[in-house]
Amino acid sequence: MRAIRIKEPGSFNMLELVERDVPKPGPEDLLVRVKAAGVNRADCMQRQGRYPIPAGAKWGDVPGLEIAGEVVETGSSVDEFKTGDRVLGLVQYGGYAEYALVDRGLALAIPEAMDFVSAAGIIETFATANETVFEVGGLRVGETILIHAGSSGVGTTALQMAKIAGAHVFATAGSDAKLERLATLGADLTINYRRQDFVQAARAASTSGVDQILDFIGPDYLARNLQTLKETGRLVFVGLLGSDTCEFDIRIMLARRLTIRGFTLRAQALHDKRAIVKRVSQRWMPFVKKGLLKPILHATFDLTEAAEAHRVMESNSNTGKIILAVN
């Protein structure tokens, strides 16, 4: 089969097309003929050498955390899927390939009316958005959430979920075109972080600050994020686009009784990931089937154009998901 591997840590040209043997499914695996694979920021970080692969990973040089395709073989313990089923799934690695293994508990049936490209943009972003906004962040009806990098795949998904859940949504982005798109998705306030101080904008539009912040930037935003939260507010880190470390004044946390939480999906144990995927299936897939929640797609590239897909993602020009089509 064809696959895209990371030759060595570095820039886009470190992604190369190679031939690999088709993997063999274990007892609880599905072997899936990949039709489309989602591109995620974690893939770019892995290519740069900043996001280590799981220990002992046989296919760890092939990036890709989510796929959609057709089941071609099932393990001996699998009874909920069969050959020919259309599935989307979460994978540890190896999504940028013509075939991939998906654990039985990390696969979901693709809704009948949905194509493979759209399906490939669901599970990573939906799982991350649900866990960070609701399971970790505890967003409730009537609360206000500020979503940084609102035009990202997770950002556009979190925005839609928060609105469905009855929350008010503020979102930041770096261009007017992105802000307009976020407004069409239901954002109550959009903030151009290049021209506006998001602290002032968010506090001016709320009574005393926001209840929750979903942050992809990291320490560079920490002090200002804390200033934006109201008493007992929650800050959830889900990315690290800026610096790794910083110093900050802890007194604001003490005075306002603030909470800081972190989240990453890939490093979690299999049983935890299965529970996460199950929550997505139960809570959000009914909205997908009704057309009330959807992955927002920016662009589709052929598998052989993986380097260009990474370039576009790292340029931060996308609104929504970037997908690799595997023909």
- C-alpha distances out from residue 28 to 60, 65, 71, 101, 266, Å: 20, 18, 13, 10, 19
Region of poorest pLDDT, from 21-30, 54-63, 148-157, 170-179: 54-63
d(CA 46, CA 33): 23
**CB-side neighbour CA atoms (13 Å) of 41:** 23
pLDDT (tens digit per residue) in 199-213: 999 999 998 999 999
Phi and psi angles of residue 135, each rounded to the nearest 5 degrees, phi first: -75, -45
pLDDT (tens digit per residue) in 58-111: 667 999 999 999 999 999 999 999 999 999 999 989 999 999 999 999 999 999
pTM: 0.95
Q: Vertex 106, ends 103 and 108: CA angle to 5°?
A: 115
Residues 267-288: what's their mean pLDDT? 97
Give the per-residue pLDDT at 280. 98
Which one-letter amino acid corresponds to residue 281? S
d(CA 147, CA 213): 6
List, in sequence order, every residue forming a beta bridge with 192; answer none if it has no partner.
173
User: Tokens representing 324?
Assistant: 């690799």
Give the per-residue pLDDT at 239. 83
Residues 306-313: what's their mean pLDDT? 97
**Per-domain residue ranges of the chain:** 2-122+266-325, 125-262
Residues 6+ apart with CB under 8 A from 31: 22, 23, 24, 25, 71, 72, 73, 74, 99, 100, 101
Give the per-residue pLDDT at 243. 81
- Residues found in the chain: 327
Average pLDDT, the chain: 95
Is residue 133 scored above 90 in pLDDT?
yes
Region of poorest pLDDT, from 19-28, 65-74, 105-114, 237-246: 237-246
Q: What is the CATH class of 2-122+266-325?
A: alpha beta
Contact 93, 66 (CB under 8 A): no
Is residue 122 scored above 90 in pLDDT?
yes
Is residue 44 scored above 90 in pLDDT?
yes
Phi and psi angles of residue 26, each rounded to the nearest 5 degrees, phi first: -85, -175
Confidence of residue 240 (pLDDT cuts 50, 70, 90): confident
The proportion of the chain whose per-residue pLDDT surpasses 70, expressed as a percent, equals 98
Is residue 53 scored above 80 in pLDDT?
no
Q: Which CATH code is given to the segment(s) 125-262?
A: 3.40.50.720
d(CA 109, CA 68): 10
Is residue 247 scored above 90 in pLDDT?
no
